[in-house]
Structure 1
Amino acid sequence: MDLKRLHYFCTIADQGQISRAARVLHMAQPPLSQRLRELEEELGTPLFLRQGRELQLTDAGRLLYRRARDILRSVDATKEEVIRAATQAGPTLRIGLTPTSRALWLSRFETLRALFQDRQIGLVVGDSSYLEHLLETGQIDAAFMQPPLHPENFRIQRLASSPPVAVLPRRLHGTVPPRLTLADLAPHPLLLLRRSFGVSTYERLLRSFHELGLTPNVALYSSDVSLLLELMRRGFAGIAVVPESEAGDMGEDYWIRPLEADLPDYHLSLVCRSGEQDAALVERLLAFWAD
């Protein structure tokens, strides 16, 4: 059972017809039919039920399809990893960064370069839930992110915190009180930050609205704070609720106000896998952040 036959088999299953699969594979129909027969003979079982020109997977075929897809994806991923390893000019420091920490990260980038001159730096920007997955699977070495959902799997060093604030365009809000209540926010379209998985400030904010008998007008939620702030810059007629650390460069055209609400701060942490062998790397990263 070779990889080419598995690829042919999956393509036939996806297309539902050998003729359509042959067109997709840019090959003639007879040799493709022959490869399928060879695979069925090797396994000793039919993989498809023939209903006219249409093909439907048998129970055995469905099992093989699931396993074959996993095998082919694994092979493709392995090829990519080998190619990446072959093209690296030197040791790489693979770092994850949550969008809620973008401003803090940018302010320290030159320090990072100076501290890790011996390594190429690779940066993956993503939601904290995604970065947690990359850490678990060994695809990044460390991440500057919100605390992981499963902290028992990681070494975590809290670095900074930032409270949620409201960002309002001055052209729409002539005067704004020093602090905004949820009642102040409720009438306006809102741009809110939400984690992909797990409970975050978003869920706590909505619960606070509902406890006060208020119905928030959520125009958009996203895990990307940069996108929310870009919408504000492009003239969004509402309010964005984001970490204070990320709202600092909005300029004089916007009000930035703290919230009169019981909401947790956004916490930036350095996160590495538990049992990380390269303890010196972690210490160097901590030193980078302390500078």
Structure 2
Amino acid sequence: MASSINYKHLHYFWTVAHEGSIARASEKLHITPQTISGQLSLLERSLDSDLFRRNGRQLELTETGRLVLRYADDIFALGTELRDVLRGAPAEGPIDFIVGATSVLPKTIVYKILEPSLKLSEDIVLTSREGPIETILAELAIHKVDLVLSDAPLTTAFRVKAYNHFLGECGLSFFAMPRLARRLKGPFPQCLDGAPMLLPTEQHGVRRSFDQWLADREIYPKIRAQFDDSALVKSFGHAGEGAFFMPSIIEKEVCENFGVRVIGSTEDIKQGFYAISAERRVRHPAVAAICDYARGEMFS
């Protein structure tokens, strides 16, 4: 591998990656496609790794390409910042803040976590996305999102360079519509034995903790349905299809919004909440506000 990187070649790669094709990069850079293609080949040779692969007529980044793009984004963003500072033009305008949240997180929790970012003096423009953890972590890796909210920390199972920021944790409360609650027999949690239940799918950490908690107590509910989306759990619960659980921190909101009642709660199962960022040290003002509020007030 070469001892140093040719930054002109890196800039060509960066432009192609963002434009999506050599042809569009050629138009933007006013350089022939043949020149760009040749420079990319030289860069790949110096890195001893392919940066793109073809999928039909489309160019796709390889895993190494995504890694290089992440660093290239930082390099050229700093270059632009330096240029503006030297020109005496400090950064102005709104600050984009893009957050990805796993679908298992209750929407009320996501709102409570993100709310401080909208109260900053800075002009923050919030964009919230939702989806499977694999998808939103991939977007974090290529800087399409600034932060990921999850109920579990990032592990080595995900080949993404990112950092966990623990926000807090709380116990679980269990809910049912009044008609179903009246049919449950015995004290909590024994009343869950044989009871119809609506649960998150087994891929989620809180579900695995819940299953172990039940097994330790020899309680066997009847699983009626499983969901990745917490909103569906509450909607089916409101329809009387089964009992369900949510983080105790939103107990009041769940009862008011869905007409259910609390049938019990436990601190033996903790649901944790994490902010995952591409930076070890939090620099984005909205991320700092979220972490400070969650740790100092929300979960204190």
TM-score of the aligned structures, taking structure 1 as reference length: 0.57
Q: Report the equivalent of 1:218.
A: 223
Q: Report the equivalent of 2:168.
A: 160
Q: Distance in 2 between matches of 1:73 and 1:268?
A: 36
RMSD: 3.7
Q: Distance in 2 between matches of 1:206 and 1:269?
A: 22
Q: Distance in 1 between matches of 2:186 and 2:254?
A: 17
The offset of 1:191, in angstroms, is 0.6
Q: Distance in 2 between matches of 1:237 and 1:219?
A: 7
Q: Distance in 2 between matches of 1:200 and 1:266?
A: 8
* 1:258 paired to 2:264: yes
Q: Report the equivalent of 2:120.
A: 115
| Contact 2:282-2:288 within 8 A present in 1 as well | no
Report the count of equivalent residues.
Answer: 208
* 1:126 paired to 2:131: yes
| Contact 1:195-1:222 within 8 A present in 2 as well | no
Q: Give the letter aligned to residue 107 of structure 2.
A: R
Q: Distance in 2 between matches of 1:114 and 1:261?
A: 31
| Contact 2:117-2:287 within 8 A present in 1 as well | no
The offset of 1:188, in angstroms, is 1.7
| Structure of larger gyration radius | 1
The offset of 1:275, in angstroms, is 4.4
Identical amino acids, percent of aligned pairs: 13
In structure 2, the residue corresponding to 1:100 is in which secondary structure? Answer: coil
5 Å-filtered alignment, 1:57-206, equals 68-69=54-55, 72=58, 74=60, 91-98=95-102, 99-107=104-112, 111-115=116-120, 117-150=122-155, 153-174=161-182, 180-181=188-189, 183-194=190-201, 196=203, 200-206=205-211
Q: Give the letter aligned to residue 195 of structure 2.
A: H
The unaligned stretches of length 5 or more in structure 1 are 1-66, 76-88
The unaligned stretches of length 5 or more in structure 2 are 1-52, 62-92
| Contact 1:190-1:218 within 8 A present in 2 as well | yes
5 Å-filtered alignment, 1:227-238, equals 227-233=232-238, 235-238=239-242
Q: Give the letter aligned to residue 254 of structure 1.
A: V
| Contact 2:167-2:275 within 8 A present in 1 as well | yes
Q: Give the letter aligned to residue 163 of structure 1.
A: G
Q: Distance in 1 between matches of 2:254 and 2:282?
A: 41
5 Å-filtered alignment, 1:46-57, equals none
